[in-house]
Homo-oligomer: A and B are copies of this chain.
Amino acid sequence: MQTCANLPRLIHKPTSIKDIARIANVSSSTVSRALQNSPLISRDTAEKIQTIAKQSGYRVSAIARGLVTQRTKSIGVVVTTIADPFVSEVVDGIEDACNHHGYSVFLANSNADPDRETKVVHSFSERRVEGIVVTSSRVGALYLPLLSEMRIPIVLVNNQHPGEFVNSVLIENVKASADVTNHLIQLGHKRIAYLGDRYGYQSDTERFAGYRQAMERAGLPFVPELVVHGDGKCEGAGPAIDVLLHRNTRPSAIVCYNDMTAFAAIRQLHALGLCVPEDVSVVGFDDLFIATYMEPPLTTLKQPRRLMGKLAMESLLRLISGESTESPIRVPAELIIRASTAPPRETAA
């Protein structure tokens, strides 16, 4: 338990280009140039200056530089919550790409609150970020007015919106969802339920479309009773499962909007005395790392999350540099078959 009062620090001021200039007996422009390895500087002075800079622990003020260059080399990332495992991996990819390009990232949670989200974007705007990437927001519509006003390029991950400075990176949801539904169909399932998300997320809509497409192509009837909605998180799935199982048509398999939903669904099924996959097959979407560790290990769709972050950032950089870009960028999801799916009871052996 140590205590420290450290007011003196507040007086401290970092060494500036001028300080170095004084020591080196040159003008501050010379220092500036030397520090940027400008070819207009003699070897000698350049070295001398760099030595002094190092010794004095000099660090350019990115903020002073930003003021004059009008480029902050920073971007903003707004997420619903960074605590979401899907989101955090995407951000990991974004951050990595940022490094490679000398950018820094501002991070902000919106907590899915439109007000908060607006404030965040404003704050980013004040900080003069060169671009913004938004992951998994359902309020993409908010950005259109905001950005036309701010003229900052934006990239949406798992959400889409038309617009001049707006790009998107999306999973091939329809195909992926159809893939996993087909997997169930091939196992012999006929009464396949869809457990979706409550909010009007684009990804939910698309996954639902893929589900319907696969059912239709297989000549299986679409039964509205087999469609139910959670809230995209664990909490909502339990009740949704209850509802589903108390309807007339009982499913032999459930396509879940995402892994979290699937976890909760499986748990609820267990609570109701049902076995997975013996009584009901369950599939997720995401391939969170714990999907492997579940009992049973979850059949799901693997999204290249880090890659999505990387692509989003690269797309943003293109937007920033004024290059023409292609949008949306669609990335494929890979079907990972594990043990939560099996042929239905009546068909199996």
Contact = CB atoms under 8 A, between A and B. Distances in A.
A216 to B, nearest CB: 25
A83 B72 contact: no
Copies of this protein in the complex: 2
Contact of A234 (B13, B66, B95, B289): B289
A55 to B, nearest CB: 11
Main secondary structure of the interface of A (DSSP, over half): mixed
Interface residues of A, number: 76
A106 B109 contact: no
Contacts of A294: 293-295
A244 to B, nearest CB: 19
Contact of A92 (B7, B81, B162): B81
Interface string A263-301: 110110000000000000000000001101111000000
Contacts of A295: 294-295
A63 B7 CA distance: 25
A263 B293 contact: yes
Given A63-B72, A290-B290, A5 B324 contact: yes
Interface of A: 1-7, 9-10, 12-14, 57, 59-64, 66-67, 70, 72, 74, 77, 81-85, 88-89, 91-92, 95-96, 99, 104-109, 122-123, 125-128, 149-151, 153, 162, 164-165, 234, 263-264, 266-267, 289-290, 292-295, 306, 319, 322-328
